[in-house]
Structure 1
């Protein structure tokens, strides 16, 4: 079976469970002021494109594109433990980049952290380069900021 990327509602039970698992991990790793995830309900806003990765009926991961003036921001990209190492993250990034292109965006940005080394490596493999803080983010000594021109 192959990995399918599709739009979904963040507030539906399956996607919500993935988001909650992601947020639980972020709370375990970082102090509250270092967490920049969006609440589940915010991931259902009109300026968000929310995607899930699935294999058959099994949800493997999720990610969101926050459409902003002049760029898109990747948010809540998460792959469940059992699905890691199977190309799910790469498939989600490809899906989010396709969604950005469909929105006419030419630049993607994201915030992650060195503690999420696998995520940093994944983004770097897909052409994302480190940069300074953007938008409302501040340099907090923990966050890693990256961007990619499409």
Structure 2
């Protein structure tokens, strides 16, 4: 499917808010609350955050955020595609766009935390070259979490 667009967006847009709420519900069904690292809406609207939405006409079908962690690395958050639109390369294109943003910010690494119960996400990250790493920032070792990173090539 090539007829969707990825655009820089405000996560406070109502349609994006609905998608983020769907993501929150999905994560709460999979994991206990103490291991759901769900950032606040306000934290996603900060100057160090690039928030992208994948849109098919007027419908928001996916999203993702890159948080610039003081120039040390970029952290991927809120990468999600509606289940009915999975397997159409939307997550791959969102992740590639977030990686390009990180490269344009001259970030040397991109890191993320995801869960063991999300095989589709783990496959995507493996395919794009992410490797296991230790917990970073405020994260702690947890049997339900997977920590991944990728070194970015600067141009």
Which aligned runs of 4 or more in structure 1 are off by greater than 3 angstroms? none
RMSD of aligned alpha carbons: 1.1
Residue of structure 2 aligned with 1:133, choices 135, 142, 145? 135
Normalization by structure 1: what TM-score?
0.96
Q: Secondary structure at the match of 1:50?
A: strand
Question: 1:5, CA displacement in angstroms?
Answer: 1.2
Q: Is the 8 A contact 1:3 1:91 kept in 2?
A: no
Q: Is the 8 A contact 1:8 1:52 kept in 2?
A: yes
Aligned ranges for residues 1-150 of structure 1 at < 5 Å?
A: 1-69=2-70, 70-150=72-152
Structure 1: 5+ residue runs without aligned partners?
none
Give, in whole Å, the separation in 1 of the partners of 2:46 and 2:24. Answer: 18
For each residue in 1:28-60, what CA deviation from the matched residue of structure 2 results, as whole angstroms up to 9, or x when unmatched? 111111111212222111111100111222211
Question: 1:3, CA displacement in angstroms?
Answer: 2.6
State how many pairs are aligned.
Answer: 150
Give, in whole Å, the separation in 1 of the partners of 2:61 and 2:50. Answer: 17
Normalization by structure 2: what TM-score?
0.93
